Every structure is written in C-alpha cells, then in structure tokens.
A and B are shown apart, each in its own frame.
Chain A
C-alpha cells in the first residue's frame, strides 16, 4: 500500500548551498535508480512546486531537472539577496533545504 511519505525518509541527501554569491543550489540525491525513477514518475516535484516553496517565479528558476547520471534532482535559484550583505540569514545557504524534506510522495510501505 502506498503512503504519502516525506522525502527526508526516502532520499540519501537533501541539501542546500551557495553556488556563488548570487545563486542557491538544492540537491536531492536518491539511494538507487529505482527510488529516483519512482519519485520522478510520481510527478510531485515540479517547477511549480519549487516556485511555490521558495517564492520564486518559475521563469526565474535557473536549473531544474531530474539528472539520471547522478540519480538526483538539482534546482538552482537566484539568491534572495547577495550573499553576506546586510540582512543575511544564512551566509552559506546551508539551511534552506528543509521545505524539500517535507515534500510528500506516495511510497510503498515495507
């Protein structure tokens, strides 16, 4: 039976980091090709979802894709502000991944 399961219980890596001072990049790396394929097939992770979670227009998304070579979803967004200036909350953008952890996909229960 499939149960709505958060990505944090499925993926091997879910992380965020600066990609230079003006971009933030998010990686979701899966344990196996099967998991990667199943999440891709679920159709839950879309540009629209990213747009909504990170409050960024879809056309501003720099990179979005499922990349088979590395069993990963990669998302790159413009940073909300230039890194390290006045008003910074996360110099390395290392803690901006949490909304991705909470994405729920239908997942078979063991």
Chain B
C-alpha cells in the first residue's frame, strides 16, 4: 500500500525490539492500515559490553519471539517492516544474527519475501584517514579522538540517517523487510515519511517520538500509531487504556536528551521550540510547527568500545554498628594492606573500588546523607589485567576485611556476612566506551552497504 498524498500512517509496536509487546494492540494498529511498521532495537544505555564484547541487549530467544510477530504483521499488512540497530549496538555481527533469525522463521513458516540488510561497521582505516584530515570531532564532553583508541576499539559503528533506508527501499523493487545496523533511532520512521514526500521536519519529529513506542503516553506503553499529514502529525497509543496528552507528548522530547528542543541528528538539527501541541481527541495529540535545520556538513555519530581488563567482585553484608561506624577507615587500611601484599604488581595496572550500599553506593561522593544505615552491603570491585589476578586481589581484600582489627572490636570471629559462593565472583572482561565522535561524510549512504536477497 502506498501512502496517499495527504497521509502516511506508521505503526510502531514497541520502543525496544526484544522487550515484548501486547500482540492484541499491535493488531489494532494493523487494522488502521499502516503504510509501514517500524521498530528500533538500538541503545547505548545498557553499557559498552555490547560493542566491546559482541553481546546483544536481549537474548536471541527474545528477538525470535518479537520478530516472528512482526513478520506475521508484515505479511498481513503487506507493507515494509523496518528494524533498526540490530542487537542493540547495530554491528555487522548482529545484523547477520537478525538476518539469520528472519530467514529461520521464514523457512519454518514457508514464507518468501525480499529482505534488505544494511550494515554500519566503519572501516578503521577510513576513520584514521578522516581523523588525520580533521574531519572527526568529539561529541559532547569527550576528549578528541586518539588514533590509538580507534585501533583499540573492538568495532566502530556509525549511526545512519534516513538515506540508507531510502536507498534500500528504492534500489530494489518491493523490499518487504529491512534490517539495519546502527541507526539514529528515528531514521526508519522518518525515511518512510520522507520517501512519501512529506515534510522532513515533521517526519523526524514523529520518528523521534515513535522510536520509544508509547513512552509518550500516560501511562507509558508499547504500541503507538502515527498519522503524518502535510502540515502536522497525530499520535495515539494503541492500548485503549493509555492516552497521549499535549503535556505527555511535549514532555517526551525531554527524555534522555541533552536539550529539550534542539535535537541533533545525522544531517541536521530538529528544532521543536515553535511546536504546537493540540488535544484532538481524549487520547490523540496533534503536533505542528516542527523545524529542521540541515547542517552545513553531513556528519554521522561514531560509537565504539574497547575491553579494559577483567573484573572480580565480592559481595558482603555488615551489621555490627561498631564496625559500620568506622567503615571508611577500615576499608582504607584493608586496601593499603592488599596493595602492599601485591607489591610486585604495578600499582596503576589494577584498581580496587569499594561500593558501600547503605552509605553512598548509588551516589558516591555526591551523596548528601552522611549517616550510614544500620546495615551495609559492601561490594568490592577489582579490575586487573587478567581474571585470575583480579580474583586473587579480590580474595585478599575480602579475607583482610573479614578479619580486619579495628578499635573497639568485640566481634572477633569475623566482620562480614557473606551471602554467596563463590565468595569472589569473576565478572569477565570489562569494557569502556572510547569512541563517541562526529565524522563528516561526503555521502550519507556510502558508509552503509546494502545487501538485498530473496528469502
């Protein structure tokens, strides 16, 4: 179904593929005859270990479950299904995992369709060349990109804009399903609307809201439907018990954003300062007045992470008030003793970091409450070059703390209540985000290869 001249309808079943969504509400959306189904699976929010170690946000099983429902919907509605940022980080590895899941389901169900895969891993040599040419800038409060960090990164991806989706849909007649690597979250929705000839500003704004599913509703939900017209769009959650209000839709643009109405993305900045929000029905909001300012140079956001050694932790409780009252001094002595014991290990090659819940485990130095609770959970995190060294240091710190003497001690058998074995818990490799920069590009599509296949 192609969009009419006056309206394009987009259905987004959830803000995050793999979290599950109510299928009955998804079907209500299908009944509204959408022109496309879009869903994002990307986020840096659960940590650098996805990019650093090739992990995914959700389990493969969770993705299989959601994707099967989506493919069924695609088949029923006969409109494109666009899935972005495969696996959470959107690496080539995870685009192929999603592609394999889709092929697997299609085989099982005896379905045939045309699938486009768009990849977003960026060649490190290319980044180094652009870096040398002064075309890579830090994004926000990060240091300028060090070429060694590019090499150290496990993989570097770039967030694609709408153009690679347009190319995938236009290049080959009748693409049914698109699965993409790392993408700016609103890109699939924006691409469908821009392709149908609608105002890019409204397209990006509607995409920006819909990429979170019905997070813009009260109470927040999953399935959401957008109607984009010539000079406005409308948004409504598909769960009849949820509603969009002018306040909930306007306030949504605050969520996880640096600025409340200037939203920078690939190719330009969305300016929502002049937007008008109107309550159309009890559950539907109309938005107009969005503006899009194309940037002078088209840039893409690079994201990368590297591994940074291994971690082990121990978890222990403390209940003795005489001990709790002196916890900082006792821990400082224990850490000093542990470091003295491992004198042969270069001091700066490992870290010992206490997390003291019941005191300041959540806020650290920013904690305004200075009196500790009646019981503490002490987690000591050790990061070192190898897993065995991290565990050894962690073990030494734990036994030292268990038996540490302190003034006024009358509980002479031990200071800690240990809930779990192993007493020292190996956490595997630690990761850190080390590339978060903007790179100028001459073409919005050249970095994102597309593979089309008949399934």
A13 at the interface (CB under 8 A from B): yes
Q: Are B256 and A17 in contact (CB under 8 A)?
A: yes
Give 1 or 0 for each of A7-44: 1 = CB within 8 Å of chain B CB.
00000010001111111010101000000000000000
The segment from B62-70, B115-123, B245-253 that touches chain A is B245-253
By size class, the interface of chain A is 35 or more
Q: Are A74 and B433 in contact (CB under 8 A)?
A: no
Q: Are A22 and B45 in contact (CB under 8 A)?
A: no
Q: Are B140 and A87 in contact (CB under 8 A)?
A: no
Q: Which residues of A contact B139 (CB under 8 A)?
A: 20, 22
B363 at the interface (CB under 8 A from A): yes
Nearest CB on A from B339, distance (A): 16
Does more than half of chain B's interface fall in helix, strand or loop, or is it mixed? loop
Bound complex: CA A37 to CA B97 (Å):
51
Q: Quick one: which of B200-233 are within 8 Å of A by CB?
A: none
Q: Are A69 and B141 in contact (CB under 8 A)?
A: no
Q: Are A53 and B366 in contact (CB under 8 A)?
A: yes
Name which of A60, A79, A84 has the most chain B CB atoms within 10 A of its CB. Answer: A84
Q: Are B258 and A76 in contact (CB under 8 A)?
A: yes
B431 at the interface (CB under 8 A from A): yes
The segment from B34-42, B46-54, B322-330 that touches chain A is B46-54
Name which of B259, B381, B383 has the most chain A CB atoms within 10 A of its CB. Answer: B259
Q: Are B366 and A54 in contact (CB under 8 A)?
A: yes
Nearest CB on A from B169, distance (A): 29
Bound complex: CA A69 to CA B381 (Å):
44
Q: Are A27 and B254 in contact (CB under 8 A)?
A: yes
Q: Which residues of A contact B141 (CB under 8 A)?
A: 22-23, 60, 62, 78-79
Give 1 or 0 for each of B348-390: 1 = CB within 8 Å of chain A CB.
0001010100000111111010000000000001010000000
Q: Quick one: which of A40-94 are within 8 Å of B by CB?
A: 53-55, 60, 62-63, 65, 67, 69-72, 74, 76, 78-80, 82-87, 89-92
Nearest CB on A from B56, distance (A): 15
Q: Are A21 and B256 in contact (CB under 8 A)?
A: no
Q: Which residues of A contact B433 (CB under 8 A)?
A: 21-22, 82-85
By beta carbon, the residue of chain A nearest B309 is A86
B448 at the interface (CB under 8 A from A): no
User: Which of A55, A69, A87, A99 is the one whose CB lies under 8 Å from B351?
Assistant: A87
Task: Knowing A29-B251, A55-B366, say if A84 contacts B275 (CB, 8 Å).
Answer: no
Bound complex: CA A35 to CA B268 (Å):
34
Q: Are A72 and B48 in contact (CB under 8 A)?
A: no
Q: Which residues of B contact A67 (CB under 8 A)?
A: 260-261
Give 1 or 0 for each of B418-455: 1 = CB within 8 Å of chain A CB.
00000000000011111010000000000000000000
Task: Knowing A20-B436, A91-B47, A99-B366, say if A86 contacts B430 (CB, 8 Å).
Answer: yes
Nearest CB on B from A24, distance (A): 10
Nearest CB on B from A63, distance (A): 5
Q: Are B432 and A29 in contact (CB under 8 A)?
A: no
Q: Are B45 and A92 in contact (CB under 8 A)?
A: yes
A96 at the interface (CB under 8 A from B): yes
By beta carbon, the residue of chain A nearest B383 is A86
Task: Knowing A20-B436, A22-B436, A95-B362, say if A62 contacts B368 (CB, 8 Å).
Answer: no
B255 at the interface (CB under 8 A from A): yes
B44 at the interface (CB under 8 A from A): yes
A4 at the interface (CB under 8 A from B): no
Q: Which residues of B contact A53 (CB under 8 A)?
A: 366, 368
Q: Are B47 and A86 in contact (CB under 8 A)?
A: no
Q: Which residues of A contact B49 (CB under 8 A)?
A: 84
By beta carbon, the residue of chain B nearest A21 is B433
- A-B contact sample (15 more), CB < 8 A, given A19-B258, A54-B366, A84-B48: A18-B256, A20-B44, A20-B139, A22-B139, A53-B368, A63-B260, A70-B251, A70-B254, A74-B259, A83-B45, A84-B433, A86-B383, A90-B363, A91-B47, A96-B363
Q: Which positions in B face A, CB cutoff 8 Å?
A: 44-49, 139-142, 247, 250-251, 253-261, 272-273, 275, 308-309, 311, 351, 353, 355, 361-366, 368, 381, 383, 430-434, 436
Q: Please name 12 pairs of A and B residues whose Cβ atoms are closer than 8 Å in the assembled complex, sorted by A.
A: A17-B256, A22-B140, A29-B251, A69-B272, A82-B432, A83-B45, A84-B433, A85-B432, A87-B353, A89-B363, A91-B46, A92-B45
In the A-B complex, list the 9 residue pairs whose CB atoms are closest, starting with the nearest. Answer: A84-B47, A78-B141, A85-B432, A86-B383, A21-B433, A67-B260, A19-B258, A84-B48, A76-B258
